Amino acid sequence: MMISSSIKVCKINELPDGQSKCLRVNDKEVAVFNVKGKYYAIDNTCIHAGAPLNDGHIDEEKCQVICSWHGWGYDLATGKCVTHPRQDVFAGSYPVKILGDEIFIEIK
């Protein structure tokens, strides 16, 4: 059975609107984004060639991050790669919750 655990990211005031933060969880990196006061967490490693997605451009209108190396886009809510011709290419995505003034992600 997989047990999920809550990992603290930071305090809310440490991740302003339009910015991202990367943290290492076990053997991977997760990027957490603030888009207009909503928080999203996806794998930080671009599926294409491994660029760190927290270095990408955040498109707040589309709620996407655009990889800084070759421009692949990811939906922050689902992790879906929106530029890949296949419809089933996703970066891992993780639930985010707020407790008090702190941000947490749920990792299985």
- Note the residues at the interface with ligand FES (CB under 6 A): 46, 48-51, 67, 69-72
Q: How far is the CB of 76 from ligand FES (least distance, A)?
A: 15
In the structure, how many helices (H) and strands (E) does the chain have? 0, 10
Query: Using only C-alpha atoms, what is the Rg of the chain?
Result: 13
Q: Which is nearer to ligand FES, 55 or 60 (CB)?
A: 55
Q: How far is the CB of 86 from ligand FES (least distance, A)?
A: 15
Q: How far is the CB of 93 from ligand FES (least distance, A)?
A: 16
What is the full DSSP assignment across 40-63?
A: EEEESB-TTT--BGGGSEEETTTT
